[in-house]
C-alpha cells in the first residue's frame, strides 16, 4: 500500500491507525449505520423524561423553573406517563438520524481523506473530522426533522390541546401544516442546533481520544483490553458532550419556542427579540448539560461496543 494512497482499488479504505488494517468497505459502513441507529435511538428514548422536562422549562420558565421541581409538576398534573410523552417520534426520529450521523461520518471521513491523500489527511485530520461531521449531520437532520417537530409539539403542548399518541399527532401536524409548518418548518433551527452539536461531538471526541492515547495510555492501542478502550471512549464522549450541550443549546431552545401559539408566524429573529438572546442561550442549559453529557457518552460507548462486537475496534486513536 502506497503512502499516498488510502485505497486498494477495490472500494476499501484501510484504517492505518489500527494494527489490523481493517477494510472500510460497504459491509463496514453498513455496520456503522446499524451501530449509530442503536446508539442514538436507544439513548434518546431512555432520556425522554429529561427531554420532556427540558422542553417545558424552555417554553414556560415561570412554571417549570428547576429540573426536579418540573418533573414533580408534570407528574402531579398529568400523571407519570406524561414524562414519556413523545417516545415514539423520538425513537422513530433518532434511530435513522443516528444511523446517518455515525455511518455517514465514517463514509465522509474516508472520502475526504482519500480526496486529499494520506499525508494531508494526517496533517489536517482535524479539518477532516470537522468536514465529515458537518456533512453527515446536515443529511441526518433531513431524516430527523419531521419526527422532531412532532415530538416537541407533543411534549410542550398544554394538556388536552394536542394529541399525545403518535398517529393522531402526526395526522394533526399534517392536516394543520400551514400553521405547524410540518414537516420541515424547523429545519433551519434544527441545523443550527445539530450541526454545531455534531461537529463539537465528533471533533472533541476524536481529539480527546487521540490525546489520551498519546499522553496517558502510551502503549499501542491494540495492547489495551477492550474494556479499557471502551472506558476511554466513554470518558472522551462525556467531555465532548459537555461542550456539545453549550454550543447547541440556542438552536434547541428555538425549536421548542417555535411550537408555542404566541410565536405562531413569527420569524426566528422576532422570537429572539421577544424572548431575549440571553434567555434563548441559557434557559434549561443545566438540564441540557446533564442530559447531553450523559447522552453523548453513552452513544459513543454503545456505538464502540457494537463496533467491537462486530470485530471493527473502537473509534479514534493515534
Per residue in 53-84, pLDDT tens?
988 888 888 899 888 899 999 999 999 999 99
Q: What confidence tier does 318 reach under pLDDT thresholds 50, 70, 90?
A: low
Specify if 3 maps to a domain: no
Specify if 315 maps to a domain: no
Please, which residues have CB within 8 angstroms of residue 145's CB and are 6 or more apart in sequence? 183, 184, 186, 187, 190
pLDDT in tens, 221-235: 989 999 999 999 999
pTM (predicted TM-score): 0.82
Q: What is the CATH number of the domain that holds 147?
A: 1.50.40.10
What's the structural domain count of the chain?
1
Specify if 316 maps to a domain: no
Specify if 275 maps to a domain: yes
The pLDDT of residue 11 is above 80: no
Specify if 7 maps to a domain: no
Specify if 269 maps to a domain: yes
Domain of residue 243 covers: 23-309
Please, which residues have CB within 8 angstroms of residue 156's CB and are 6 or more apart in sequence? 55, 56, 59, 256, 259, 260
The pLDDT of residue 4 is above 70: no
Angle at 303 between CA 313 and CA 242, to 5 degrees: 115
Amino acid at each position: 500500500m502506497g503512502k499516498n494512497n488510502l485505497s486498494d482499488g477495490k472500494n476499501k479504505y484501510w484504517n492505518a491507525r489500527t494494527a489490523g488494517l481493517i477494510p472500510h468497505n460497504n459491509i463496514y459502513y453498513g455496520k456503522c449505520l446499524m451501530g449509530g441507529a442503536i446508539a442514538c435511538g436507544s439513548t434518546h428514548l431512555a432520556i425522554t423524561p429529561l427531554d420532556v422536562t427540558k422542553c417545558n422549562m424552555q417554553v414556560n420558565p415561570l412554571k417549570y423553573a428547576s429540573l426536579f421541581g418540573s418533573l414533580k409538576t408534570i407528574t402531579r398534573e398529568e400523571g407519570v406517563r406524561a414524562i414519556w410523552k413523545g417516545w415514539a417520534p423520538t425513537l422513530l426520529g433518532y434511530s435513522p438520524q443516528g444511523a446517518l450521523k455515525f455511518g455517514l461520518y465514517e463514509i465522509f471521513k474516508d472520502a475526504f481523506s482519500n480526496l486529499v491523500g494520506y499525508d494531508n489527511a494526517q496533517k489536517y485530520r482535524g479539518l477532516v473530522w470537522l468536514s465529515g461531521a458537518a456533512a453527515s449531520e446536515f443529511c441526518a437532520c433531513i431524516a430527523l426533522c419531521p419526527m422532531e417537530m412532532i415530538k416537541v409539539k407533543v411534549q410542550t403542548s398544554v394538556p388536552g390541546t394536542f394529541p399525545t399518541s403518535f398517529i393522531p399527532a402526526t395526522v394533526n401536524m399534517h392536516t394543520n401544516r400551514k400553521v405547524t409548518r410540518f414537516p420541515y418548518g424547523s429545519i433551519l433551527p434544527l441545523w443550527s442546533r445539530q450541526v454545531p452539536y455534531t461537529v463539537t461531538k465528533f471533533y472533541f471526541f476524536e481529539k480527546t481520544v487521540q490525546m489520551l492515547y498519546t499522553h496517558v495510555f502510551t502503549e499501542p492501542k491494540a495492547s489495551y483490553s477492550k474494556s479499557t478502550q471502551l472506558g476511554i471512549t466513554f470518558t472522551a464522549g462525556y467531555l465532548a458532550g459537555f461542550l456539545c450541550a453549550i454550543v447547541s443549546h440556542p438552536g434547541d431552545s428555538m425549536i421548542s419556542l417555535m411550537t408555542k401559539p404566541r410565536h405562531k408566524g413569527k420569524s426566528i429573529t422576532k422570537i429572539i427579540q421577544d424572548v431575549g438572546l440571553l434567555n434563548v442561550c441559557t434557559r434549561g442549559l443545566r438540564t441540557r448539560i446533564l442530559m447531553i453529557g450523559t447522552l453523548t457518552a453513552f452513544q459513543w460507548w454503545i456505538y464502540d461496543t457494537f463496533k467491537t462486537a462486530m470485530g471493527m475496534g473502537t473509534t479514534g486513536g493515534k
